[in-house]
Structure 1
Amino acid sequence: MGGLGGRGVAMRVVVMVMAAVVLLSITILSRPYSDHLLLSLEGPLPTDHPELLRYLRQEVLVPPATGDYNLLGRKNAALLKMEKSEVFYNETLRTLLADKRGGFFVEAGALDGESMSNTLWLEQERGWTGLLVEADRTAFLALRDKRRKAWAANVCLAPTPFPAKMLFTQSSHAPGPLSKPLGFKMRAMNGLVQYSTKQVVGDSWFQRVQCVALESLLMSLGVQRVDLLVLDVEGAEQAVLNHLDLDKFNVQVLCLEWKKQAEQQVVVDDLAQRGFELVARLREDLVLVRRGSEYATRLPTTTLPKASETVTPRTVHTAGGST
């Protein structure tokens, strides 16, 4: 009898569980709204949403490559003539970063990972790794083929604290004789339409690209310190910085391209309030270092190489002299 009674109780439990499952299924199926819609009603997806971070890690971020580099080297048309900004960044960063090994960089606007790269030498000579961000699909495919030893993401950095799809300019057919000597530099002007000049917009095709907040990308990788942040995102730099906690990710050195030179002082003052000091400038290119950083102590007591037109400690040298 005890056995029969036990089986009866078990059956009742099974029936109750099945009934609960059925009721739950009916509730879900009869609800005319998806979880996605209900979440969207609460506002834009936050930068640290667990599902977003999981999606970025599994679907967006490409792990560092293994094996030998696949670089063009001297065959790269874009390296035949170094731009002044390339020389400036190369000399300034080599002085600031010196022999530091094993650091972490973020380079946004990474192009093909070789042409105009500010970080390739850090991988090859100093054992650094990092994150390469490039929104242009053609450039990104070339970047992946270089086998860089860093994470890579084919997205644009969002000028908002949440992900969104936005219009991105895309170079039309390369303009004749300039296409060969410039190589991938031809695609360096691509950027979000809302920050592009009328000339760029007028000469472009357009595509919708996925934009993601830099904070989300860094959190998905578990990054806690960024030794070097290079932002060359064609006018969206201020918006990207406004939504990046420089202290949370312990950013040490910051490189910015700021084409509107009349606004540079405002930018420098704003970053000074966030703990950064301008140490080098060449026209539209700025280099800032966190106060108290290990890199601040690496500044020389004499001026840097003349070609870079940069600095003694706490003295900013520009193309027109020092300030």
Structure 2
Amino acid sequence: MTKQRKAWTSHTCISLYPYPKEEVLVSLSRGVQKESELMRRANDPHGSSYVLGVTLDSTLYDSMLLQATKSYSLVQCFPLVSYLLALNVSTVDLLSLDVQGAEKGILENVPWSRLVVRVVVVEVVHHSAFDEVFVEYMGSQNFTLVYFRGEDYVFVRNGDPLMSKIQGVTIVE
């Protein structure tokens, strides 16, 4: 906001459902810990939050969640498409989604027939291995997985001009 970028903000969250819903948002902060500066920075959850009830199931986050100080607030959540329609946006070049365990629920409620998304980047940290069911779902929505590493998935819409540039290039690891 202070840099006056062309951006919009909303003190709301993205709904896991195809309708608006109030949710409890859990915000994390870190208490004083006796550890090295490097470890403190690596484990700092400052700014991290998640919707109460969303399962993280990640050893990466388990210890951080146990050590973090939590605060709770009631937040109005809206489907992703509601934000885009409010901004009169029907084409998205890049959708990057990293929402602490709610990614799949959000994507399952996108009306793909009403919205053109060219590239989707999703971080799914709570899934310990390659998620074939998730990749199949995105395939059923007209997307091809072009990159996977660790917990990061990158999908490109079938037929997008970008696909012709990456045909024959192996970038799925």
Indicate the TM-score class for this superposition, using the shorter chain for normalisation.
Answer: 0.7 to 0.9
1:146 to 1:194, Cα distance in 2 relative to 1, 3 A: farther
Give the structure-2-normalised TM-score: 0.80
Is 2:123 aligned against 1:257? yes
Amino acid at match of 1:212: F
Give the structure-1-normalised TM-score: 0.45
Query: Of the candidates 119, 135, 143, which is equivalent to residue 268 of structure 1?
Result: 135
Paired with 2:77 and 2:144, the residues of 1 have a C-alpha distance of 29
RMSD: 2.6
Is 2:54 aligned against 1:195? yes
Amino acid at match of 2:156: V
On the 8 A contact 1:169/1:201 being kept in 2, the answer is: no
Q: What is the deviation of 1:190?
A: 1.5
Q: Which structure dedicates a bigger proportion of its chain to helix?
A: 1
Query: Of the candidates 232, 239, 245, which is equivalent to residue 111 of structure 2?
Result: 245
On the 8 A contact 1:160/1:239 being kept in 2, the answer is: yes
1:193 to 1:279, Cα distance in 2 relative to 1, 3 A: same
Q: What is the deviation of 1:145?
A: 3.0
- Listed one character per residue, the Cα deviations across residues 272-291 of structure 1 (whole Å, up to 9, x for unaligned) are 11100000111100000001
1:265 to 1:146, Cα distance in 2 relative to 1, 3 A: farther
How many residue pairs match? The answer is 162
- SS class of match (1:229): strand
Paired with 1:187 and 1:173, the residues of 2 have a C-alpha distance of 7
Partner of 2:172: 317
- Listed one character per residue, the Cα deviations across residues 289-310 of structure 1 (whole Å, up to 9, x for unaligned) are 0011022123275xxxxxxxxx
Q: What is the deviation of 1:147?
A: 2.9
Amino acid at match of 1:194: G
Paired with 1:206 and 1:247, the residues of 2 have a C-alpha distance of 36
On the 8 A contact 1:279/1:287 being kept in 2, the answer is: yes
Is 2:84 aligned against 1:225? no
- Select the structure of larger CA radius of gyration: 1
Q: What is the deviation of 1:263?
A: 5.9
Unaligned runs of 5+ in 2: none
Q: Percent identity?
A: 28
Q: Which structure dedicates a bigger proportion of its chain to strand?
A: 2
- SS class of match (2:161): coil
